[in-house]
Structure 1
Amino acid sequence: MATQARPGTLRDRLDRIVLYQVYPQSFADADGDGMGDLDGLAARLDHLSWLGVDAVWINPCFVSPMRDAGYDVADFLHIDPRYGGDAAWDRLVAEADARGIAVLLDLVAGHTSDEHDWFRSSADDPADDRYVWSPVAAPGFVPGTGARGQFYKPNFFDFQPGLNFGYARSDPNEPWRQPVDADGPRRNRDALVEIIGHWYDRGAQGFRVDMAASLVKDDPGHVETGRLWADVRARLDARHPGNILISEWGDPARAVPAGFDVDFFLQFGGDDDGAPLKSLWNNGAGTVHEAWEPRVAWADASGEGDAGTFVAAWESVRDAIAAAGSSGIPGLPTANHDFTRLVAGDRTADQVRSALLLALTWPALPSIYYGDEIGMRYVPGLASHEGSSLGPTYERAGSRTPMAWGELPASAAVAHESRYLPQDPDPLRPTVADQLADGDSLLRFVRAAVALRRSDDRLAARAPVEVQSTGAPFVFRRGSLLVALNPSGEPRDVAIDGDALILLGHRARVDAGVLRLDPFGCAVVDLAPVDDGAETTSDPDSTARDSTERNSA
């Protein structure tokens, strides 16, 4: 086990941490039943420790009928038996604490399963205003099945009734609209604090909040929703001041001033409906998400894309957060369970080092989706599973396939590959085992990038950035560091003044005042190196092979 000291709370270290997202049913299976579980994750924590991440975010693992893969919660206070129950949670926290890795849970704040006891009680009691009910059929409402005989408002799928947090505006034609300070909305707000506090008391150090912007209805500018989260955050901080809240809002300029420590740029959200992230990755455009119109993305091998849209959005977010006096930061994910991986469509694992290095060197909180560190691909053509399909061309199952561990050494902790979904059928699919044995692998490159991110103050999320170009190559300065990223299939040159040392590079070299990037090359260059006799190297792991390798997975 590679224990790593990480002093201070997560909030203290917010601008330095690296987050890793785990889809628990797909990550690792400890008991061999084919379903990934929390003991499987615990058995693979040495991989995360070796990789160097500070925190792991787990998709919902609470008691659920799993019609939406756990986002339909039937009991917020217990771990589902398929993941090992509450005892498995305690074991996971103990193992993670021993490695200095924080565990974050995923809170579905805006709705429950229709099998939750709250909903069953409300469906039978006309006085229960925990959910939004209408006595008559109304647009967006579906019929309930209880003795109440009314219609309820779902928050996502029809089997996910929306919790009542009130409406920002009243309407005499819609008498079900309660104000945000009515009894039902206040009761639900209190429940959020109780649920999060319960898991904080049991060892969680933060939450990612699903659909965080969806709580208060008809809320222009999400003003009342922002006030709600500011209240929740203040009450939680009174007991757990060092823990963090990350939102799935997709609009950091609004979410972070509302009280979240981090909000991700996402494939949706904001005034431009996710355009910043789409302009970077646009993974598999036109194949899995009808809303992602075909476009040339910065990460495309054509070299015709441009990161200017993303940079402009990030600058706007930075200014909005500063104006609000917030200490929070935006987040930049490599992918997640809701949109396609970096390796998708025609894009290969050989092409994505620049994208991964961007996520790990840009001034934001980086989130690595499980398997992206080895270049797992979005697998097309899978059947819908546990609510993964959101439309005829929006299938999420391909982003949720089992983590590809491969044949790991006997010294590794015992855990099986999940069979929750079919494994990538490509016989050349990447595995952790294969890449551990390859000194030039993507896995070792990502490990070196994580180490650099965590060790160099110039790469902190709140440290300055100066953008020099946004195409291919994308070049920016982080203090005296220069980051140059060439996602294209053509070589690119970057002029460099003075001395330069490549701290981390791939297919990159310095030649007579020029940084030469081969196709898909990238580098982090120190423009003010200390003369200690070190040689320029493009081997990202040449000094990182140590005794932790034998326990790395």
Structure 2
Amino acid sequence: MTQIDSTPSATATGTGISRVVHAGSADADQWWRQAVIYQVYPRSFADSDGDGIGDLPGVTAHLDHLVELGVDALWLSPFYRSPQRDAGYDVADYRDVDPLFGTLADFDELLAAAHARGVRIVVDLVPNHTSNEHVWFQEALAAPEGSPARARYLFRDGRGESGELPPNNWQSIFGGDAWTRTTRPDGTPGQWYLHLFDTTQPDLDWTNPEVRDEFEAVLRFWLDRGVDGFRVDVAHGMVKADGLPDWDGHVSMVEGSDASGADGATDQGSTGTGNSGPMFDQDGVHEIYRAWRRVLDEYPGDRAMVAEAWVEPLSRLARYVRPDEMHQAFNFSFLCTAWDAARLRAVVEASFAANDAVGAPSTWVLSNHDVVRHATRLGLDSPDARPNGIFAHDPQPDVVLGLRRARAATLLMLGLPGSAYVYQGEELGLPEHTALDADVRQDPAFFRTQGAEAGRDGCRVPLPWVADAPGFGFGPTGETWLPQPDAYRDHAADVERRTPGSTFDLYRTALRVRRAERLGTGTLAWTEPFAQDPQVVAFRNRDVLVVTNLGDALVALPRSVEVLAASGPLDRGPYGETSVPSDTTVWVRA
């Protein structure tokens, strides 16, 4: 058992500060520095019209759930017009709502209702590629080779005697070649176009001024409607290396080829999650974001951007959040760090070092629509496991262990200074659906890898709202676009919200305390004697001591503590002292 010193030689609070690693923010009035933002995946949040697919009116109808939870903003995954080949990340019209999700009037109603409740709205922007049904791409296919219409995308002649080979050896993130060959009007094979994702998602050419002008206009369209910011999809993409050179590396949705950035450097805390290569993290992306930042700065209300950038080392990621670029960047290094005290301490410290150097907040995240839910991921046998989905025939997680660790990881994350993102359903303790049949899967990664990867459907299953209703209350008919596992009954929102100690109760308590104690803008310092314990992550944020026990032995707290939040039941040591069991996090005032 680790016993904390409470003799007179310790500080008045009973804990000695080992080392300050992050000073508090002086810009507490900038909401994005400390906000807790809730990700809504619209098709799986709530269905208002009974078609089995969530929609914008469904989000509006459940805003009070988010208010009760205590979040500051919500991020809406794409709801734009789309053929839905990649769940809306294949956009056909950036200025309209797909009828599947409602209308522009429905969006305006959601925005007004959220603002009336003090909740901000961040919308998704998908600038790396469009749908192949976008009017621009249809014009490009109909236009001759070398035309201005084709110059908006990355069309190239093929290699080989008659152009029968792709222009380079790049592979799609979803599997297979990253190039598709077109057919000329006379039926002969034509040029190839690049698609780093599905064949239906052609990459734009961001060296084209017309592309840049169009997206600045799209920004203004939504800013004029009153949105509070943008989450930028594949923010490390868009610009490709000159000449599109061959590359023998490999990229995926959740990991890259190595843990180094474009300059070959490495950082303490790197996890190997960064996508390198000539198609990612090129210096030219920063010019784009500087231009976008100037657009946002024209508008009142402190509008913000967050980068989805799978970039390492962390010093490379920090370049996206320099003062004249984006405001936040998801900390995927933290998300991908194993359940290991030393590694967690390393990634936290490296994150603060990199972001503090540019004056940006660290933006913490544990789950989203692209990764296995952390309530499942943390229950897998391997502490380093980052599968792209889980099949029924794969090794299954320890459900109880996974949820216990997920609750502890969440309380650790929410105790850190900076901003944090919460993926819908994690506040209910939802696990991944690990037994989806092949005939219901819809993720293009499943099909393009010929079923080798399960893909992301398991983390996108519709939410359970009412335990005893058909479809667990997802919509009025009981229909759901993906089947829900029976286990969701025990995690339904109506059960979670009325059960003391539930995961929802934990999140609600943590967010209330986090706001009251101003933890989002606090100072972080490692504390003695926990700093010497290889199985503990412990730090002080303002007046709150956060202790996470990743080992097997009990960890004793100071003799006189006020428990503010705990991820699970606490224990008593041999002398009656409050103690933290394995895989548990506690916040105390000591």
Instruction: Give TM class, smaller chain.
Output: 0.7 to 0.9
2:47 pairs with 1:29: yes
* Separation in 2, partners of 1:106, 1:79: 12
Cα pair distance change 1:242/1:371, threshold 3 Å: same
* Partner residue of 2:147 out of 121, 124, 127: 127
| In 2, Cα distance between equivalents of 1:45 and 1:208 | 20
Aligned 8 A contact 1:374 1:431 in 2: yes
Q: Equivalent residue of 1:213, what SS?
A: coil
Map of 1:242 onto structure 2: 302
Match of 2:330 in 1: 264
C-alpha contact 1:28 1:418 (8 A) present in aligned 2 = no
User: Are 2:204 and 1:144 aligned?
Assistant: no
Task: Give the superposition deviation at 1:495.
Answer: 4.4
Q: How does 1:109-120 map to 2 (within 5 A)?
A: 109-120=127-138
Specify the alignment match of 1:95 in structure 2: 113
CA distance in 2, matches of 1:427, 1:408: 11
Is the 2:562–2:588 Cα contact (8 Å) retained in structure 1?
A: yes
2:388 is aligned with 1:334 = no
The CA deviation at 1:526 is: 0.8
Q: Alpha carbons of 1:217 and 1:519: their partners in 2 closer, same or farther (altered >3 Å)?
A: same
Q: Give 2:231's aligned amino acid.
A: R
Distance 1:218 1:239 in 2: 33
Q: 1:144 to 1:429 in 2, by over 3 A?
A: farther
Residue in structure 1 matching 2:588, options 496, 508, 525: 525
- What is the CA-CA distance between 1:486 and the residue it aligns to? 2.8
| Residues in 2 aligned to 1:144 and 1:263: alpha-carbon distance in whole angstroms | 36
CA drift at 1:430: 1.2
CA offset digits 1:219-273 (Å, max 9, x no partner): 856322122212221232123561110010034323212711111122xxxxxxx
CA contact (8 A) 1:43 1:415 kept: no
Pair 1:359–1:347, CA change in 2 (3 A)? farther
1:334 deviates by: 2.4
3-state SS in 2 of match to 1:476? strand
Q: 2:46·2:474 contact (CA, 8 Å) conserved in 1?
A: no
Q: Which protein, 1 or 2, shows the higher relative CO under an 8 Å CA cutoff with sep ≥ 6?
A: 2
Whether the aligned pair in 2 keeps the contact of 1:25 and 1:418 (CA below 8 Å) is no
Alignment map for 1:299-338 (pairs within 5 Å) = 305-306=340-341, 308-324=342-358, 326=359, 328-338=360-370
Change (3 A) 1:157 1:494: same
**Cα distance 1:58–1:514, how it changes in 2: closer, same or farther (>3 A)?**
same
Residue of structure 2 in register with 1:548 after alignment: none
Aligned to 2:444: 387
Give the direction of change, closer, same or farther, for the CA distance of 1:112–1:510 in structure 2 (3 Å limit): same
The alpha-carbon deviation at position 41 of structure 1 amounts to 0.6
Q: Secondary structure at the match of 1:53?
A: coil
2:375 is aligned with 1:343: yes
* 2:233 counterpart residue number: 210
Aligned-residue offset at 1:514:
4.4
1:386, CA displacement in angstroms? 4.5
Deviation at 1:487, TM superposition (A): 4.8
The Cα shift of 1:163 comes to 0.6
Q: Secondary structure at the match of 1:127?
A: coil
Contact 1:193-1:236 within 8 A present in 2 as well: no
| Uncovered stretches (5+) of structure 1, i.e. residues with no partner | 1-8, 167-183, 267-273, 280-296, 299-304, 528-553
1:142 partner amino acid: T
Distance 1:13 1:337, change over 3 A: same
Deviations 1:459-506 (A, max 9, x none): 124533326447543211113311012355x4521343x742111223
CA distance in 2, matches of 1:243, 1:133: 35
Deviations 1:306-360, CA, capped at 9 Å, x for gaps: 3x33433343333333333x3x322221201110112212243344221110121
Paired letter, 1:73: V
Of the three residues 427, 447, 458, the one matched with 1:373 is: 427
Cα distance, 1:428 vs. partner? Answer: 5.4
Deviations 1:79-98 (A, max 9, x none): 10000121211111121111
Q: For the structure 1 residues 427 and 212, does the alpha-carbon distance in structure 2 shift closer, same or farther, using more than 3 Å as the test?
A: closer
Evaluate the alpha carbon distance shift between residue 503 and residue 203 of structure 1 in structure 2; reply closer, same or farther with a 3 A threshold: same
Q: Deviations over 1:122-152 (max 9, x none)?
A: 2223322111111334124321346594221
Structure 1 residue aligned with 2:101: 83
| 2:487 counterpart residue number | 426
Q: How far does the alpha carbon of each residue in 1:134-178 deviate from its partner, in whole angstroms, 9 at most, with x for none?
A: 133412432134659422111322221111013xxxxxxxxxxxx
**Take 2:286 and 2:111, find their aligned partners in 1: how far apart are those partners?**
31
